[in-house]
Amino acid sequence: MRHRAALFAMLALLALRVADTQPPRLSAQQAWIRITPGSQVAAAYLTLHNAGTAPVVIVGVRCPCAGHAMIHETTLADGLSTMRPHERLRVAGGETVQLAPDGLHIMLSMLTWPLLPGEQVPLELLLEGGGTVAVTARVRALGDG
């Protein structure tokens, strides 16, 4: 009888832990990649929305078409455009964040194949705590976007 009570207590604790670790409610829409012919880099843009109440933190990006993928941020100061890594992107509960030209974006470098306009490319956003969000981005030519 005592073993049964201990088993029920363990199951109850496990159920509470599972309830506390519900998957984040982060979604990505309107994903696209801008290519520059002859270049080994491309930029991906998308709109993120956190439908949950807890913040979600993106800590990395994976893409099979790139040897390296990372969130970057472009800023303009004194007429000079600079780009720097943005290693952790926090999306607060209820917030929408836009990754767009001349701002936050995903930098894809060391492309493993030439991307073609119209092609659909999978991206994977890596979340703090181990979750992921799958995204499909459509490739656009340089002047298309």
Count structural domains, the chain: 1
Q: At which residue do the structure tokens 């194949």 appear?
A: 113
Q: What is the DSSP letter of 54?
A: S
Q: What is the arithmetic mean of pLDDT over 86-94?
A: 94
Residue range 91-132, pLDDT digits in tens: 999 999 999 999 999 999 999 999 999 999 999 999 999 999
In a domain, 145, yes or no: no
In a domain, 4, yes or no: no
Cα three-residue angle 41-104-83, rounded to 5 degrees: 60
For the cut 80, the answer to whether the pLDDT of residue 1 exceeds it is: no
In a domain, 117, yes or no: yes
Enclosing domain of residue 118 = 24-140
Q: CATH number for the domain including 107? A: 2.60.40.1890
**Residue 116, CA distances (Å) to 29, 76, 93 in order:** 20, 30, 36
In a domain, 90, yes or no: yes
Q: How far apart are CA 55 and CA 24, in angstroms?
A: 8
In a domain, 91, yes or no: yes
The fraction of the chain above a pLDDT of 90, given in percent, is 67
pTM of the model: 0.80
The fraction of the chain above a pLDDT of 70, given in percent, is 82
In a domain, 108, yes or no: yes
In a domain, 15, yes or no: no
In a domain, 10, yes or no: no
Taking residue 145's Cβ as centre, other Cβ atoms within 10 Å add up to: 12
pLDDT of residue 6: 42
